[in-house]
Amino acid sequence: MAKKTSVLATGGAGFIGSHVVVELVDAGYDVVIIDNFENAATDVLQRIARITGTEVPTYAADVRDRELVRHVLGRHGIDVVIHLAGKKAVGESVAEPLMYYDANIGGGIALLEAMGAEGVGKLVFSSSATVYGPGDAPMDESHPVGPSNPYGRTKLMLEEVINDAVLAGKISVALSLRYFNPVGAHRSGLIGENPRAVPNNLFPFVAQTAAGWHDRVRVFGDDYGTPDGTGVRDYIHVVDLARGHVAGVAHLLSGRMQRGHERLNLGTGRGHSVKEVLAEFSRQCGFEVPHEIVARRPGDVAACVANPQRAEHLLGWRAERSFEEMCADHWAFQRAVLRQEAEPAA
Ligand code: UD1
């Protein structure tokens, strides 16, 4: 029997990674995870197994461990790497920039070296729309870059490192996927985002407030130049995002792209305001999520929305899940977490 295509997902136990792994297994790929479990719970592996019926081989290790990464690439005959491992808290990156450059840039370099040494030439990189400078209209990939914090700069710098590695022939092809705002959760309620610290992002904070963990959501400003005055973002369902990765892997394997590096937006092309998020979440919960308007958050922009046409054109992929589904699935996962925490410890 011909060997199935093997994909390594670094950071495969995290919020986005776990959804990517599920979609890859469902699409018929052999998948291997490397994750240092710094920001992921080990029980996510059983949850992935429950959803897919497959135990995904997993290495609890850091991508900066070159020897281990080389061993995994060789042993599993990896064809494509999806690099999701990295640190992602904006505030922490401002306080601890060296830690961020070490983990995110150092991790990327170690991975590229290991790929070069093992002759693995195809890479999908988890980048972010945070690489863009401000702009009110939907942004395409030619929108000027200008990240405003060290986290964002690590994403942009690693894109550049990857670009140079491709130019020098260290790897052959790469896609940098610039995610807009991933939200929602898998329909099963088994995997989703369950931050350990108090979240800074809107969706997890709204979900936790609806769950009674915080007394109210603070709406950071209602005097922006947006239709209702609150910030507008391009929220994308994490399952759509995960399927974008599967489409990216298929594109790299298709041979249509022999050499080169493409940067692609993954978003819906539609923006929703903070007030719209609160209203839809309240509708899904059946009660009003408490909130108050406070001052703007420093560093926030009025609107950030993707022009996702390039990804659609190149990958034949487009986000399909509605804003209502994003809120419903996010809330369903939060309720599953609540139920689980209410269970007496075994
Ligand atoms: C943030 C990060 C960005 C990261 C993205 C991931 C910052 C400055 N940027 O972007 O680097 O890629 O998350 O999803 O942190 N809001 C409130 N109350 C809250 C939280 C948020 O009103 O308690 C508002 C914000 O002002 C914004 C919107 O909700 O208008 C979305 O905020 P958030 O979820 O933090 O995402 P971003 O700011 O887009």
pLDDT of residue 43: 93
Would the CB of 322 count as within 6 Å of ligand 1?
A: no
pLDDT of residue 46: 97
Residues of the chain with pLDDT under 50: 346
Per DSSP bridges, beta strands 181-183 and 235-237 are parallel
Q: What is the pLDDT of residues 173-221, one digit of tens each?
A: 999 999 999 999 999 999 999 887 899 999 999 999 999 999 999 999 9
Strand partners, 179: 128, 266
Would the CB of 128 count as within 6 Å of ligand 1?
A: yes
Which 3 state secondary structure label does DSSP give 21? helix
C-alpha 85 – ligand 1 centre gap (Å): 21
C-alpha 200 – ligand 1 centre gap (Å): 7
Q: What's the sign of the alpha-carbon dihedral 111, 112, 118, 120? A: positive
Alpha-carbon span 306 to 180, nearest angstrom: 7
Ligand 1 atom 3 nearest Cα: 130
Task: Locate the ligand 1 atom nearest the alpha carbon of residue 181 and give its number.
Answer: 14
pLDDT of residue 333: 96
The angle subtended at Cα 253 by Cα 252 and Cα 256, nearest 5°, is: 65
Alpha-carbon span 304 to 267, nearest angstrom: 10
Place of tokens 């992935």: 48
Contacts of 47 (CB under 8 A, 6+ apart): 18, 190, 191
Which whole-number Å values give the CA distances from 297 to 28, 109, 199, 328, in the listed order?
43, 33, 14, 26
Q: Could you say which DSSP state residue 55 is in?
A: P
Catalytic residues, by residue number, are 151
Superfamily for 6-185+235-267?
Answer: NAD(P)-binding Rossmann-like Domain (3.40.50.720)
Other beta carbons within 10 angstroms of residue 120's beta carbon come to 24
Hey, what are 216's tokens? 């109210």
